[in-house]
Structure 1
Amino acid sequence: MLHPVFGKLFAAQVLALVGTGLLTVALGLLAFDLAGAAAGGVLATAYTIKMVAYVGLSPIAGAIVSNLPRKWVLIVADAARGVVALALPFITDIWQIYLAIFLLQTASAVFTPTFQATIPDVLEDDDDYAKALSLSRLAYDLENLLSPAIAGLLLLVMSYHWLFGGTVIGFLVSSAVIAMTAVPGRGVRKQRPFRERLTRGVRIYLATPRLRGLWSLTLTAAAASAFVIVNTVVVVRNGYSGSESDVALALAVFGGGSMVAAFALPGLLRRLSDRPVMVGGAVMMTALMGLLVIFEPGWIMFLVFWSLIGLAYAAVVTPQGRLLRRSAHHDDQQAVFTAQFALSHICWLITYPIAGATMTAWGMRPALAVLGLVAIAGLLLAFYFWPKGDPDEVTHTHDDLPDDHPHLHGQGHTHRHALIIDDEHHNWPNRR
């Protein structure tokens, strides 16, 4: 049975993401109408703008709203996305797509890290939190499965421009659901200067080996998913002479594979630690990209590959909340979730332009080859930064603390405990 507060937050997430999924399909078709075969380049630019907003604005926004009530931050950000979405049906030029994406994702840069950091406060049990992460992954997959399926049905009876109306409804109803939810407050926290709030999450993140490994694996995931998101419409319409509904189907099977993984992961993570699951997904994803470079599949096999890439993608990204929760004290979790949001989107900031430019210039298989090399680089970095073992408790020495410091009480300068980067632990012992 769902926790009542999480249940409402989950419902709000589903509503917003269904609207976002309709937006993804409609935006791809709009780009194809405006730019034809160059639609991949237009979408790559649009998604690059999205990443710039996420990377550049989320740390600043996070620092600004870090002392504001979470509930109102979520409501205002969701409502702002709904207002921006009202303009989407009236877009007639490519530059308007870029402006709308920037404004929409600026609001998302506030909403998403705040939402993600709220869930650990609602669900304190590790198993409950693991299940919640999988449900959240399923919600994200609705953007790639249920929404395209709905879009495919709607496109049989109406123009894609009407799909943008679903985006508006999704955001506004999501905002209303949050307004009726008892969102937990931030609690009593140590007050820090704005400059420290701005950089603290990134400093903790980059000082923690498992989080540097997470960042590296995210690069692998971004390499595969960027190709899917940016180029599916071109591959299906031009490569397979598919229809608008076929585009929706291809995106849906990618999301379907991801949903299969999300259902399986809670049980799998009870038997295995996060690292082998995430690394295994990254290896699988990279291998699938390599096979697509070598072989040119027929339509059915293409859909099978898309579903398997979706499955591997979910195995990499779903457990990330467990790593973030494990790697930060309660007071710092909002900052670390914001850091993950910003730093992870640097990966897509790299891969979206590569996906669009290489597809436009050289076609599907060379584009996959280039992105496959990016995926391999992410894997190698993950093996280097995040070695096997990853113990919670680490032996370390505090040469920087006086003998009477409270942290040393009864332990001495050299001791062993669960290590988290904080005011007493600025660096990781034997840091790579």
Structure 2
Amino acid sequence: MKSLPSILANPFFRKLFCAQILATFGTGLSSIALAQLAYHLSDRHAGKILGIALVLKMVAYIFGAPLMSYLSAKIPSKLFMIIMDLIRMLLLVSMFFVQATWQIYLLIILINLCSAGFTPTFQALIPTLFQKKADYTKALSLSRMAYNLESLLSPLLAALLLFFVSFKLLFALNALTFLISSLLIYSTPLKSSNKTVQSRGFGCLYDYLTIKPLLQGLLFIFIAALAGAMVIINTVVYIQGTYHLSESITALTMAVFGIASLITTISIPALSQYASSNKLMKCGALFCIGGFAIGILTPNLTGIFIIWFILGIGASLIETLIGLTITENITQEKQNNYFTAYFSLSHACWLSAYFITGWIGNQIAMQSLLLLLFLISVLLYLLATQIKSPTLAKP
């Protein structure tokens, strides 16, 4: 089998992948700059401002994707993505002039509405560039690697930049990444797709849930979201609160999750030669369940590293392969609707996971939270494996 980077020989994918990397890293820098801006406006209420901003981001994703699909259905995909990039660029530049918290909230909603339009369109475009399933699987792995690397490297890059420049420059850098992304997309000779299938809007959510493999995948995504939210929200609580260790150990623990995700992502094209995407996603769910089960035993620091590594493997197996599940079960002309539905529904899963691991987790002991996550994940897994094929027409 050819190596993973060989897929970059496809010139169309190479340009789009570069655009994705730039936009992903730029957005990562902006997330850190947003926290700094919130503190700058109100140091005592920075956490509240940032929390509300993140909730608004998720709400924009959940409800914005179906709404934006109406617009994307009327515009060629290439032009639509360029417009979304340029609007986000202008909105980020306006971050320089923010003087009040409501302005942050408005800009967050608008920026993420554009992202809710751009991302499903981008995801639906990638499979059209490849004829072979193996090549598309490699493309998915590379795409997932970009997200994993961003989560590992963006905080380090931002910390380095903030030694020399104002946090507002991070917004400018993100704006620049969107400009370059739009130029890369413009220079890619993509075929103008004939969008004969109309947008289903919020109806695409119902359509998605009526197809067994997609519903199964969504339930597995919920398990992955629980694992990811546990790591994002409670690593600091676990390390610095329960074990009274340093911030550097907290960062190292989170890095263990990211490294496990990265290793797994690289391995997926090879694993796909021996098992279907559905079986690999089931394995990912079982890894997450196993990680929660071990966590109930109150391990030492080494044990936490092992648990976070296991959760990273499980989450990566699930999140990387969901795109393949969609393309295997949906005809090409309808995939944009289903990627839109997935984008919306998956972020609903993440919002629920943040609520469970954050708000509920704050009310109970850590071991009780891990027991709760274990039980929820087992229930989701059982539901996913017991789903019967619906008696509806194929999409």
Does TM, scored on the shorter chain, surpass 0.5? Answer: yes
CA gap of 1:25–1:375, structure 2 versus 1, over 3 A, is farther
1:318 matched residue in structure 2: 320
Query: Displacement, 1:275?
Result: 1.7
CA gap of 1:158–1:368, structure 2 versus 1, over 3 A, is farther
Letter in 1 for 2:196: K
The superposition leaves residues 303-340 of structure 1 with CA deviations (integer Å, 9 ceiling, x where unpaired) of: 55434322221101111111111111121111111111
Distance in structure 2 (CA, Å) of the matches to 1:287 and 1:93:
45
Select the residue among 179, 183, 200 that pairs with 2:190: 183
1:15 matched residue in structure 2: 22
Structure 2 residue runs of 5 or longer lacking an equivalent are 1-5
The 3-state SS of whatever aligns with 1:145 is helix
Select the residue among 225, 230, 235 that pairs with 1:227: 230
The superposition leaves residues 398-429 of structure 1 with CA deviations (integer Å, 9 ceiling, x where unpaired) of: xxxxxxxxxxxxxxxxxxxxx9723xxxxxxx
The superposition leaves residues 86-127 of structure 1 with CA deviations (integer Å, 9 ceiling, x where unpaired) of: 344666766555433322211110000000000111112111
- Residues 16-415 of structure 1: matches in 2 within 5 Å? 16-28=23-35, 39=47, 43-88=50-95, 95-157=102-164, 160=167, 162-187=169-194, 189-190=195-196, 192=198, 197-199=200-202, 201-232=204-235, 240=244, 242-243=246-247, 249-298=252-301, 302-362=304-364, 364-385=366-387
Q: Conserved in 2, the CA contact under 8 Å of 1:137 and 1:262?
A: yes
Distance in structure 1 (CA, Å) of the matches to 2:266 and 2:99:
41
Does residue 394 of structure 2 align to residue 421 of structure 1?
Answer: yes
Bigger drift between 3-12 and 343-352 goes to: 343-352
1:410 matched residue in structure 2: none
Q: Conserved in 2, the CA contact under 8 Å of 1:324 and 1:336?
A: yes
Q: Conserved in 2, the CA contact under 8 Å of 1:17 and 1:142?
A: no
Query: Displacement, 1:352?
Result: 1.8
Distance in structure 2 (CA, Å) of the matches to 1:228 and 1:36:
25
The 3-state SS of whatever aligns with 1:102 is helix
Query: Higher helix proportion, which one?
Result: 2
Q: Conserved in 2, the CA contact under 8 Å of 1:65 and 1:73?
A: yes
CA gap of 1:92–1:358, structure 2 versus 1, over 3 A, is farther
Structure 1 residue runs of 5 or longer lacking an equivalent are 388-393, 397-418, 423-432
Distance in structure 2 (CA, Å) of the matches to 1:386 and 1:158:
56
2:3 matched residue in structure 1: none
Query: Displacement, 1:169?
Result: 2.7
Select the residue among 5, 11, 14 that pairs with 2:12: 5
Query: Displacement, 1:281?
Result: 1.0
CA gap of 1:122–1:100, structure 2 versus 1, over 3 A, is same
Letter in 2 for 1:421: K
Q: Conserved in 2, the CA contact under 8 Å of 1:148 and 1:251?
A: no
The superposition leaves residues 241-262 of structure 1 with CA deviations (integer Å, 9 ceiling, x where unpaired) of: 544x666555444322211111
The superposition leaves residues 38-74 of structure 1 with CA deviations (integer Å, 9 ceiling, x where unpaired) of: 94x6655433322211111211211221131111111
What RMSD, in angstroms, separates the aligned Cα atoms of the two structures? 3.2
Q: Conserved in 2, the CA contact under 8 Å of 1:28 and 1:43?
A: yes
Letter in 2 for 1:322: L
The 3-state SS of whatever aligns with 2:185 is helix
Bigger drift between 148-157 and 346-355 goes to: 148-157
Distance in structure 2 (CA, Å) of the matches to 1:114 and 1:276:
27
Bigger drift between 221-230 and 337-346 goes to: 221-230
Query: Displacement, 1:83?
Result: 2.4
Distance in structure 1 (CA, Å) of the matches to 2:96 and 2:257:
26
CA gap of 1:377–1:214, structure 2 versus 1, over 3 A, is same
Distance in structure 2 (CA, Å) of the matches to 1:380 and 1:79:
44
Distance in structure 1 (CA, Å) of the matches to 2:373 and 2:332:
37
The superposition leaves residues 115-157 of structure 1 with CA deviations (integer Å, 9 ceiling, x where unpaired) of: 0000111112111101001011111112212222323433555
CA gap of 1:376–1:46, structure 2 versus 1, over 3 A, is farther
- Give identity over the alignment, percent: 35
The superposition leaves residues 265-322 of structure 1 with CA deviations (integer Å, 9 ceiling, x where unpaired) of: 0010111011221111111112213333431543x65455434322221101111111
Q: Conserved in 1, the CA contact under 8 Å of 2:229 and 2:354?
A: yes
The TM-score normalised by the length of structure 2 is 0.85
Q: Conserved in 2, the CA contact under 8 Å of 1:205 and 1:212?
A: yes
Q: Conserved in 1, the CA contact under 8 Å of 2:35 and 2:46?
A: no
Distance in structure 1 (CA, Å) of the matches to 2:20 and 2:44:
33
CA gap of 1:382–1:17, structure 2 versus 1, over 3 A, is same
Distance in structure 2 (CA, Å) of the matches to 1:290 and 1:32:
37
Q: Conserved in 2, the CA contact under 8 Å of 1:292 and 1:368?
A: yes
